[in-house]
Amino acid sequence: MKKIEKRVSKSFFRRNLNFLCFSLIAVFIVLGTAGCDETSQRNESHHVERREPGVSIDEYRQNAENKLNEQLKDSSHPLRKRVEEAHVTVTVNSAYVSDMKIITKNGKNRIVKESDIRRIEVDITSLWAGFIDRGKTVVHLVVEDTGDGLKPIEADISYTDAIVNIEDPKFWFAVASVVLL
């Protein structure tokens, strides 16, 4: 069966957006300044080399992915439960960060403190069993600095194999058209 990509309105997850993104924001707050002010010194033949303060975007992203993936292992994680509620007939077996992009305010490759981050986009893939064996749903989350720190601004399903998606208006229009025929 060919997988069909479905775009869901931005209203998906809206009523629980803060609840769903809490884990994501917590990860970034924990990482915010952890290890960012360290300076690395290496003594090789009486030569001392200092590293720039902060961590590279890649290091920060890898740490954030690892922490979020650890949280997503919990079968009662809110995001996993939310996917199950949206698709009704599925049980999420696993979830993981499939993509993460971090953009800094100054365009540099180093993050010294959390306020250096302008935008974070995360795709979380949930693998599940249901009517379709080994199905998947990708949830796209966007966190931005709104002036008051990092805040979730968007969460939606960017891809799903699910036959049932109770929060997708297109699903209900399809049900209505079948019933009316």
Tokens coding 169:
């208006």
Question: What is the band of 43 on the pLDDT scale with cuts at 50, 70, 90?
Answer: very low
Percent of the chain exceeding pLDDT 70 equals: 64
Greater confidence (177 vs 29) lies with 29
Phi and psi at residue 27, to the nearest 5°: -60, -45
Q: Is 83 helix (H, G, I), strand (E, B) or coil?
A: helix
End-to-end CA distance of the chain: 25
Compute the distance between CA of residue 137 and CA of residue 166 in angstroms, rounded to an integer: 14
Percent of the chain exceeding pLDDT 90 equals: 35
Supply the pLDDT for residue 8: 43
Supply the pLDDT for residue 179: 43
CA 84 to chain centre: 17
Entry pTM = 0.70
pLDDT higher than 80, residue 1? no
pLDDT digits (tens, 9 = 90+) for 99-148: 999 999 999 999 998 889 999 999 999 999 988 889 999 989 898 988 88
pLDDT digits (tens, 9 = 90+) for 68-111: 999 999 999 988 988 898 888 899 999 999 999 999 999 999 99
